Structure 1
C-alpha cells in the first residue's frame, strides 16, 4: 500500500496496562488487528494472532509481539467456519491457559452499486465472517474467561450511518454493536465487560482491495478532520477497553471516526 498503514510499529509505547493477560485478536495480520496486537504486546499481553491466509503479514505481526517480550500464537483459518472458531479458542486455552481479552475484529466487505449486484454467496459469507463468527467465538471463549475479562467487537460508523454500497457489511456492523450491548447485560454478573469500537474511515489493506480506485483516492477526505485514520490511532481505545482502567466501561460503542457522529 502507498502509503503504508501506520500500525504503531515505531510509535506505540506500552505502560504495563495488560501485564500477563491473554488476548485473542482476529484479523490480526494487518490493519487495526495488527495495531491492536502490537499495542497489547507492548502493554504486557500474550497474543493469539488469528488470520485467514496472509502468512507473511501474520509472521510480521508475531515478530513485533515477540520483540516486545511476549508470546505470539499464530493461527490461520477461516472464521466463517464455526468449527474453526471453536478450534481457535481451544488452541488458545491449550497453549496459554485461558482467555482474558477477545477482540472480534476480522471482517469482509465488498463495494456493490446495487442490490442485484450482490451475490447470494457474498451476503452469506459477509454475515458468517463478520457476525456469526463473533457469536461462535464468544460462546467458546466465555467459559474460559474470568471476572475482569473483556470482549471487544469491531463495529463501524456504518452501524448507524450505513454506506449504501456496503449494505451487507453495514448490516453486520450494526448487529455487532447490538450484540455487544446484549452481551454486556448478559455477562455483567460474571464480571465480563463487553464493548464495541466504531471506527470511521481507517487506512487498512481492506480499503484498496474492496473499493474502486476513485473511492480509494478520496478515502476519508469527507470527515471533519479531512483524512482517513491510521490503525495506530485506534489501538489506544482497544487497550483502554481491555485494561483494568476501563473497569466500569461496558455496553459502550466508542466512536473513533475523525468527527463523524455515532449516535
Structure 2
C-alpha cells in the first residue's frame, strides 16, 4: 500500500487513462476524488469500483477550463479530506485536423482544457498541499516531441504541459512538491476510439516494438510510482510510457 493515508485527485477520471490511474492509486491506499466534466454515470462507476475494492472515493464534477469549477472542485477536496498529497492532471481533449481546416474555436478549446486546465488545477491544489509536500503528475503525450500531421495544435498543448512541468519542478521543489509528466504512446481510450482502425491502425502497429497498442493499465503503474515515495528523487522529468514507440508511426 504505497499510498496509504494519501489524498489524491485525478482530473478527467471517468474513463480511459484517468480511470485506470484512479483505480490504481486507490488500490495502493489513496483516498480519492474522481473528477469528471460531463459523464456522472461513468464517474460514479469508477467510484463504485474503488469502493468495491475497499477504497474511499467521491466524484466531483468540474470543467477544468472554467476557473469557478476548478475552485469548487478543490473546495470539495478540502471539505472531504482537509488536504491533498497527489494531483494527476489528466483531463484533456483532442481534435485532429489539418491547420487549414482548424477553427479558432477548436484551437482555443484544446488550449483551454489541456493547458489552462492544468494551470488552474495546480494553482488551486497548491493551497491544499501540506508541509510534507506532494506529487503533481501531468499527462502529456509522445506527440509533444514527435507530432504527427493533423496534430499541430494538440501536440502544441502537450509541449506546453511539458514545459510547464519543467518550470514548476524548479519553482515548487523548495516546498518538496515534485512535478513530472507522463508521455503515453498509442493507447486505447475513448479519446482515440476508432482512430486505430484499418490500414492506418496496421501502420501504427507496425511501429510498435511490443506489437500492440497500450491500455490504461499500462500507464497507471507509472503514475503510481510518481505519486509514491519511491519517486522521492524524481522531479522535472518527462517519462515516456509508449511501449517503445518513438512517434505516431509516420
TM norm structure 1:
0.89
Tell me the equivalent position of 1:116. Answer: 100
The change in CA–CA distance for 1:168 and 1:191 in structure 2 (over 3 A counts) is: same
Paired residues of 2:196 and 2:204 also in contact (CA < 8 A) = no
Paired with 1:111 and 1:48, the residues of 2 have a C-alpha distance of 30
Where do residues 152-171 of structure 1 align in structure 2 (5 Å cutoff)? 152-171=137-156
- After TM superposition, the runs of 4+ consecutive aligned structure 1 residues lying more than 6 A away are none
Tell me the equivalent position of 2:169. Answer: 184
Tell me the equivalent position of 1:91. Answer: 76
Paired with 1:197 and 1:155, the residues of 2 have a C-alpha distance of 6
The change in CA–CA distance for 1:24 and 1:216 in structure 2 (over 3 A counts) is: farther
Find the partner of 1:243 among 217, 224, 228. Answer: 228
Find the partner of 1:135 among 97, 107, 119. Answer: 119
Paired with 1:46 and 1:220, the residues of 2 have a C-alpha distance of 37
Tell me the equivalent position of 1:8. Answer: none
Where do residues 200-211 of structure 1 align in structure 2 (5 Å cutoff)? 200-208=185-193, 211=195
Paired with 2:99 and 2:124, the residues of 1 have a C-alpha distance of 34
The alpha carbon displacement at 1:212 in A equals 8.1
Query: Which string of whole-angstrom CA distances, capped at 9 and with x for unpartnered residues, describes residues 167-224 of structure 1?
Result: 2111111111110111000000001000000000110010126x48547744840222
Paired with 1:203 and 1:29, the residues of 2 have a C-alpha distance of 15
Determine if the alignment matches structure 1 residue 173 to structure 2 residue 158: yes
Structure 1, unaligned runs of 5 or more: 1-15
The change in CA–CA distance for 1:220 and 1:23 in structure 2 (over 3 A counts) is: farther
The change in CA–CA distance for 1:162 and 1:53 in structure 2 (over 3 A counts) is: same
Query: Which string of whole-angstrom CA distances, capped at 9 and with x for unpartnered residues, describes residues 24-77 of structure 1?
Result: 001101111111111111100111111111222111111111122222110123
Q: What RMSD over aligned residues (CA atoms) do the two structures have, in Å? A: 1.7
Where do residues 1-263 of structure 1 align in structure 2 (5 Å cutoff)? 16-112=1-97, 114-146=98-130, 147-208=132-193, 211=195, 213-214=197-198, 217-218=201-202, 220-221=204-205, 222-261=207-246
The change in CA–CA distance for 1:216 and 1:45 in structure 2 (over 3 A counts) is: farther
Q: Which secondary structure state, in structure 1, belongs to the residue aligned with residue 10 of structure 2?
A: strand
Paired with 2:31 and 2:45, the residues of 1 have a C-alpha distance of 15
Q: How many equivalent residue pairs?
A: 245
Paired residues of 2:96 and 2:154 also in contact (CA < 8 A) = no
TM norm structure 2:
0.93
The change in CA–CA distance for 1:135 and 1:225 in structure 2 (over 3 A counts) is: same
Q: Which secondary structure state, in structure 1, belongs to the residue aligned with residue 211 of structure 2?
A: coil
Q: Which secondary structure state, in structure 2, belongs to the residue aligned with residue 117 of structure 1?
A: coil
Paired residues of 1:201 and 1:219 also in contact (CA < 8 A) = no
